[in-house]
Amino acid sequence: MFKIAVLPGDGIGVEIVPEAVKVLKAIGRKYGHSFEFNEGLIGGAAIDAVGVPLPEETLRLCHNSDAILLGAIGGPKWDNLPVHLRPEAGALLPLRKALGLYANLRPATLYNALMDASTLKREVIEGIDIMVIRELTGGLYFGEKRREETAAGQCAIDTLTYTTEEIERIARLGFEIARQRKKVLHSVDKANVLESSRLWRETVTELAKEYPDVELIHMYVDNCAMQLVRWPKQFDVIVTENMFGDILTDQASMLTGSIGMLPSASLGGKVGLYEPSHGSAPDIAGQKKANPLATILSAAMMLRYSFNLAEEAGAVEDAVVRVLDLGFRTPDIMQDGGKPVNTEEMGDRVVEQISGH
Ligand code: NAD
């Protein structure tokens, strides 16, 4: 029995999460697993109900679960609240911190049926399947920040620190995931300029001795940004620090052209967090237009990384490919000749492919 905390959140979150739950139930039926789903409040929905974006009860539910399925949070209604009460700063960051989620995994997989959605040429992107692993709790975003008055006006200081331990644990995840895939790992840094990057490179190089079956390639971040659009097929798994990862994950994800298709996983602690890469899309909320596939593919990542059910994860991913090949499209990925479906129907089509009827 796997216990899943279900946090739909706001906007389209409440529409897409039930579709992923439906898909997990179909997997449970087909492969004989039992999943227990327990719903919790988060984000604006929690502010409206109990006055805070991350209630204690939700945090407890997450700690007592095997994995978390999150929709999206935020929206214009809550934009003007003080920072600590805003959905993102008040819920997402504290949740990641409380759960020790130091690694963010974002795959950029191109679906052949959606090739024309990318801004890049077909021959450049055909067949890309990249996993970017971003360090999530260290580096510049978490270092000490301050301002000083100087003769030249104000001086703003952000500090970028990394310890060997922080680098080693994220790099280890990189090697482990590379080992399950094509056994090539790109470690991205700026070791020609930054001391933290020199420690990064030394640490990753040292760790590589434990993974002789994985080819390790070091790359500077500026070159990586260029290579991602020049020849993305050279990459399989990329591991990098927080800020470089923030930028490169967005860049890599856009190779595939569609935000409604991009899943993510945040790992590191006992309980993994799975959510689509997009936000709560207030502009289309409540209209049944949202594409649930990013959330469904996040559920597939949950099966693979939290429950170690690789075959079941593959079954979800294959079902998504077949649904797209059959031409079913939510509005965000609609093309000439596509068969229009709403959020719920898209979920149903995926379930049909899994169940075989
Ligand atoms: P967004 O990702 O919500 O939307 C950007 C655009 O993509 C919109 O036009 C939207 O309609 C479209 N879109 C997004 N997901 C889609 C889907 N599944 N299907 C079809 N179309 C989709 O980003 P935004 O508009 O910048 O932010 C909206 C709200 O979401 C804000 O309050 C923001 O703070 C929040 N947000 C939350 C998260 C999160 O919960 N992790 C992440 C990003 C943004």
Same domain as 299, residue 246: no
pLDDT score at 43: 96
CA dihedral 235, 241, 245, 246 (to 10 degrees): 180
Residue 139 in domain: no
Q: Is 49 exposed, middle or buried (0-12, 13-18, 19+ CB in 10 A)?
A: exposed
User: Among 136, 278, 328, 345, which residue has the most ligand 1 atoms within 8 Å of its CB, making it the best to mutate?
Assistant: 278
User: How many structural domains does the chain have?
Assistant: 2
CA distance 233 to 129: 8
Whether 286 lines ligand 1, by a CB cut-off of 6 Å, is no
Same domain as 251, residue 124: yes
Residue 113 in domain: no
Domain end residue (candidates: 191, 223, 255) = 255
17 C-beta neighbours (distance < 10 Å), count: 27
Map tokens 């934009």 to a residue: 79
* Catalytic hit among 189, 236, 246, 348: 246
Same domain as 296, residue 321: yes
Q: Which residues contact 204 (CB under 8 A, 6 or more apart)?
A: 167, 171, 174, 187, 216, 218, 239
Whether 259 lines ligand 1, by a CB cut-off of 6 Å, is yes
Same domain as 300, residue 240: no
Residue 140 in domain: no
- The CATH number of residue 251's host domain is 3.40.50.2300
Residues spanned by the domain of 264: 1-105+257-357
Domain end residue (candidates: 255, 272, 287) = 255
CA distance 339 to 336: 9
Residues in the chain: 357
Same domain as 227, residue 129: yes
Cβ contact 262:106 at 8 Å: yes
Q: How far apart, in Å, do the first and last CA atoms of the chain sit?
A: 26
CA distance 41 to 1: 23
Q: Which amino acid is at 138?
A: G
Q: Quick check: is 190 catalytic?
A: yes
Whether 75 lines ligand 1, by a CB cut-off of 6 Å, is yes
Residue 143 in domain: no
Handedness of CA 12, 15, 21, 27 (dihedral sign): negative
Domain end residue (candidates: 215, 231, 255) = 255
Same domain as 223, residue 128: yes
CA distance 141 to 134: 13
- The CATH number of residue 340's host domain is 3.40.718.10
Spell out, as residue ranges, where the chain has pLDDT lower than 50: none
Same domain as 341, residue 261: yes
* Catalytic hit among 97, 141, 183, 220: 141
> Judging by DSSP bridges, how do beta strands 129-135 and 237-240 pair with one another?
parallel
Same domain as 184, residue 60: no
Same domain as 237, residue 216: yes
> Is the pTM here over 0.85, yes or no?
yes
Q: Quick check: is 141 catalytic?
A: yes
